[in-house]
Amino acid sequence: MGRKPLRSTDDAQPGGTPSPEATEVPEKRPGSGRMGRRTFVVGAAGILGAGVLKGLADPAHAQEAQVIVPDDPTKVQGPTASLVGGRSPFEQPERFLHPQLTSSRTPLQELHGTITPSDLHFERHHGGVAHIDPDKYSLLVHGLVERPMVFTLRDLKRFPSQSTVYFMECSGNFPRNASEDTLPQQICGLTSQSEWTGIPLSTLFREVGVLPEATWFLAEGQDAAVMTRSIPVEKAWDDAMIAYGQNGEALRPENGYPARLFLPGWEGNASVKWLRRIELSDGPFQTREETSRYTDPLKDGKVRQFSFVMDARSIITSPCYPDRVEPGWLELRGIAWSGRGRIRSAEISFDEGATWHAADLQEPVLPKAHVRFRYMWKWDGREATVLSRTTDETGYVQPTQQELIEARGVGTRYHLNPITGWRIRTDGSVVYRTEEWA
């Protein structure tokens, strides 16, 4: 499956000039980053002998700059051990930036397995990334409680902890009317997965003595948007966490460092980051982000409010645009997930959904988690369409786009999880299977 990019970008490399000795010019994959960048590989002479010197323009990749790639690595002593490792200069996955720089999307098409590296986890913020001094951090829990309390980060870390793998998905994770040159990253890169560490929210609720009349709570962030959302108390008694760890390390700043609310399987926005206050109440607070936004307009003029659960969804991440495949055996690969629990099945269709074929699910299949699915398929070289759909343990089946529109009309931007797929042309090129949102 061709992972070769199809076009280059035009940005010159600071500190480097295209060299006539250049032996190769790797080009950017389209769409894999908003800011284009060209990577030059120039012939390197001198004490290290024949080889190529890879320099990168982006300071975020300073670690990878100036790496020598010898023609024969067995003849050249390599670099020594380092305090913090970097990526190969040949592997530079990037998030896809929203034009307003308020979100970035995980490069699903470049990932294997189920874990999302923390520096590629999608981000979405309403007032930029808050940077917080952990020694000054505190969390107030008050309202309908017996004992209002303030917890420092150190307090939170003393409680019994848990580590669980969960996906996190933004409810606005589908571009309507996307064109053929669309990447998985653009279709649903607002979902990512980590091993989250923290404490059950129920621990804090027992600590403060939540009163029986408390049915909702407000979660408030310490960012410039002062993000606020209302959450039913039941979620705290179920599986809500206060998370301070992500993939082994501390939360990343764009994911709520030093501590965030984490509501497994629910829309990302409700898992308030940089959490500073929880207020128990006898009803929802009707905050800006649950009235003006994060509600789903329906076709009858009404709206669905507090539509927290992320419905089951799947996507084939390989092959995909802009791959070019060859006839013969291919492994179709993708991910499936559901906010309601475990994935029961992922299926592939080659006939626009008339018939479906069960894909293999990678074990262990964890609840409220991305599951990797795979299906071996022999492509005969004729034009083909490949679709995926998933069913979760509650029996919920991922809908077609038409079924979604029939249920909700065309006005909503949230909680869109239609079946999607790819067209493979006779020349092996792969494009997004477009479908007009109407």
Window 133-152: residues binding its own copies (CB under 8 A): 133-135
CA distance 8 to 38: 7
Identify any residues that bridge with 246 across adjacent strands, giving them in sequence order.
196, 249
Which residue's CB is nearer to its own copies, number 233 or number 272? 272
Confirm if 368 and 339 have CB atoms less than 8 A apart.
Answer: yes
Is position 161 an interface residue for its own copies (rule: CB under 8 A)?
A: yes
Window 372-431: residues binding its own copies (CB under 8 A): 372, 374, 376
Single out the residue of 118, 130, 121, 126 nearest to residue 101, CA to CA.
126
Indicate the DSSP class of residue 204.
Answer: H
CA distance 281 to 349: 48
Which residue's CB is nearer to its own copies, number 226 or number 303? 226
**CB 73 to its own copies: min, Å:** 4
**CB 340 to its own copies: min, Å:** 19
**CB 303 to its own copies: min, Å:** 28
Number of residues in the chain: 438
Interface segment toward its own copies; rule CB under 8 A; list 282-290, 362-370, 383-391, 410-418: 362-370
Window 197-256: residues binding its own copies (CB under 8 A): 197, 222-224, 226, 244-245, 247-254
CA dihedral 342, 366, 261, 304 (to 10 degrees): -20
Among 27, 155, 180, 195, binds its own copies (CB under 8 A): 195
Among 10, 20, 81, 382, binds its own copies (CB under 8 A): 81
**CB 384 to its own copies: min, Å:** 17
Window 8-47: residues binding its own copies (CB under 8 A): 24, 33-35
**CB 212 to its own copies: min, Å:** 27
Which residue's CB is nearer to its own copies, number 93 or number 341? 93
CA distance 233 to 281: 9
Residue 205: which region, alpha, beta or left (left: phi > 0; alpha: psi -120 to 50)? alpha
Among 205, 257, 422, 432, binds its own copies (CB under 8 A): 257
Report the amino acid identity of residue 1.
M
CA distance 138 to 244: 13
Interface segment toward its own copies; rule CB under 8 A; list 116-124, 174-182, 303-311, 396-404: 116-124
Which residue's CB is nearer to its own copies, number 33 or number 265? 33
Alpha helices, H only, 267-374:
288-291
Using DSSP's 3-state secondary structure scheme, residue 178 falls into: coil
